[in-house]
Amino acid sequence: MSGQEAALLTQARAWLRQDPDPETRDELAGLITRAGSGDEAALTDLADRFRTRLAFGTAGLRGELAAGSNRMNRVLVAQAAAGFAAYLSEKAAPGTVPTVVIGYDGRKNSRVFAKDSAEIFAGAGLRAVLLPRLLPTPVLAFAVRHLGADAGVMVTASHNPPNDNGYKVYLGGADQGSQIVSPADAEIAAHIQRVADRGDAGSIPRSDAYETAGEDVVDAYVAATAAVAPAPVGTAGLRWVYTAMHGVGWETFSRIIGEAGYPAPWTVGEQRDPDPTFRTVSFPNPEEPGAMDLAFAKARTLGAELVIANDPDADRLAVGIPDESVEGGWRRLTGNEVGLLLGWRAARAATADGPAAPGTSLACSLVSSPALGAVARHYGLDFHETLTGFKWISRAPGIAFGYEEALGYLVNPDTVRDKDGISAAVALLGLAAEARSREATLADLLEEVAAEVGHFASGQVSIRVEDVSVIGRIMAALRQDPPAAFGATAISATEDLLVAGGDAPAGDVLRYRLADGSRVIVRPSGTEPKLKVYIDARADSADAARAAVAGLDAAIRELLARRG
C-alpha cells in the first residue's frame, strides 16, 4: 500500500472515532476494511469522501448523505453548528446572548441534524429555539424575524436528489432574516475549520437546555401569509390541483388557503405527504421533465383550471395551465412568466392609490427576464438586477417584489426575506380568482401584461460536462476572442461582470446585448457541472419573440460547439 493510501486510511479511521451515527459508522468501518485489504473501488470511494471538505458557502452546506468530510453527516453538522455558534458569539454585543432558530424538513436525517444543532448551540451558551415539527423553509425564514433572532438554520436540501441533505443559514438583525452573503460565509467557514481541525466532534459541548417553539410561531406565519391575498368575491367555484412533491408544504398551505377563503384543491395523494424517498419522481424538482405529470393527469381528469406545485421544502412555486397547443393539453408556466405575473401584481398594488412611495422597487436576478424591468418602468418603480440567489435579491433597496427564473418568488418582504413558494402560491391564487371573476385566465393575464410592456420570450441552453475544466476553457475563449454576432444578429455591447463597475454586480458572467434588442447571458452553474446560457428577446408579438429566441438558441449551440 502506498503512503498516500495509508494516510487516507488514517484519516478515515480518525473520522470513524468521532462519528456518533451507527449507520454511517458501520458503513465507513466496512469501507475501511475493504480498502485496507487493497480493494481499489473502496480506496477510490474513500478518496472521494475525504479528499476535501464539503464547502461552506453563501448557500451553507449541501451534499450526499454518507460518512466522510465530503458528505453530509452528523460529524460535519456538529462541526458546522459549533463553528456557527463561535461566529455568532464573536459578533454578539457584550453582555448579550445570541438567539438561533432551527428548522427542518422531511428529508432523511433532517430532524437528527436539527436536534444536534440545537444541543450544540445551547451547549455553546446560545439561546436555541427548535421549531415544533418538520415545516417549510419559509416558516424558518419567517421565524428569524418574528422572534427577533440573531440567526436561523434550516436543515433541507430543497429539491436536490433524495439522498442529499443540507444546512442553510440566515442572519437576523440588520440582515432582516436573509441568507448569508460574503464575508459572513468565509468568516463562518473559518470557525468551522478550526473546530474540524481539532478532530473530535464528540468533545463539542452539548446541552438539552434548548427551547421548542410553540405553535404560535406557525400560527403567525399562517395569518401573515393568508393576508397576502384574501380570496376575492366569486372564488368559490375555482377548480385547482395541488402537489407538495413529497415535501412538507401541504399541512401549512392547507391551513393558509382555508384562512384566506379559497376552496380546497384536489391534491395529488401520492405526493401530498412527506416522503424522503420521493418515490413517484426521479428528481423532486417541479422544473424537471415529468415531475408534474401526476398533477397534470389529475387536472385533465377532473377538469381543473390550474395546477399549483411546491418543491419539497416549499420555497419554490410551479404553476400549470391548460394549453391545447402542447401534448397532453397542459404546460408549466416558466419561472419568468410567473415572475412577470406576480411582479405586475406587486406594481399595481404599489400604485393603486397613486404614485408609489419613493424607492419602491422590483428586483430579479440578472439571468431572469428583462420583462420585470419593463413593468417597473411602466409603473414608475425602481428596478434592481442582482446576482443569482435570493441572498442578493432579498437585499435590493425598497423591494416590493423579487424573483429568479428558477421558480423562486418573494412577494411579502415585510415578513419573509427569502423566496417563499407558499405566499407566492396564495398571491397567484388571488390573481387567478380575480381573472376568473371576469371570465379570464392566467394566460389572458399574460396577454394583458404584454399589451402594457411588450412581448418577451426566454430560452435557456445548458451544456453539461464531465470535466468542469471545459467550462473554464469556454469562458476563457469567449473572453479572449469575443464573438461579434450570434448567427445573423450582431452583438452591440459585451459586458464582462468579472470586471463590472458602478452598480453592476460582479461575477463570472458574460452579458451580450444584441442589435435587435435581445440579450444573451453566459455563466457557469453554481450548483452543477453545467455551462448555462440565458436568452431573452422582446418583439411586437409573442410569435416573433419566440422565433427570435429559437434562432439565437441554434446560433449559440453552434458557437459553443466550436469554442468547446
Bridge partners (DSSP) of residue 65 are 72
Q: Who contacts 560 (Cβ-Cβ below 8 Å, separation ≥6)?
A: 461, 463, 474, 531, 533
CA distance 306 to 322: 7
Round to whole Å and give the CA distance between 539 and 533. 20
Closest-CA residue to 192 (of 299, 270, 100, 80): 80
Q: Are 291 and 270 in contact (CB under 8 A)?
A: no
Say which residue the cell 462519528 belongs to.
19
Residue 303's CB is within 10 A of a number of other CB atoms, namely: 8
Stated length of the chain? 564
Whether the CB-CB separation of 335 and 367 falls below 8 Å is answered with: no
Place of cell 455563466: 523
- Residue 458 makes CB contacts below 8 A (sequence gap 6+) with 334, 336, 369, 405, 534, 535, 536, 537, 549
- DSSP for 281-342, please give it: -SS--TTSTTTTHHHHHHHHHHT-SEEEEE-TTS--EEEEEE-TTSTTSEEEPPHHHHHHHH
Judged by DSSP in three states, 365 sits in: strand
Q: What is the identity of the amino acid at 268?
A: V
- For residues 67 and 15, is the Cβ–Cβ distance under 8 A? yes
What contacts 121, CB < 8 A, 6 or more positions away?
81, 84, 85, 100, 102, 127, 128, 210
158 labelled catalytic: yes
What 3-state DSSP class applies to 136?
coil
Active-site residue (options: 69, 117, 158, 423): 158
Q: What are phi and psi of 53, to 5 degrees?
A: -105, 145
| Closest among 136, 214, 138 to 177, alpha carbons compared | 138
Q: Do 256 and 242 contact (CB within 8 A), yes or no?
A: no
Maximal C-alpha separation, the chain: 77
Answer whether 425's CB lies under 8 Å from 314's CB: no
Report which residue type is found at 369. Answer: S
C-alpha cell at 400: 416590493
Instruction: Just list the catalytic residues.
Output: 158
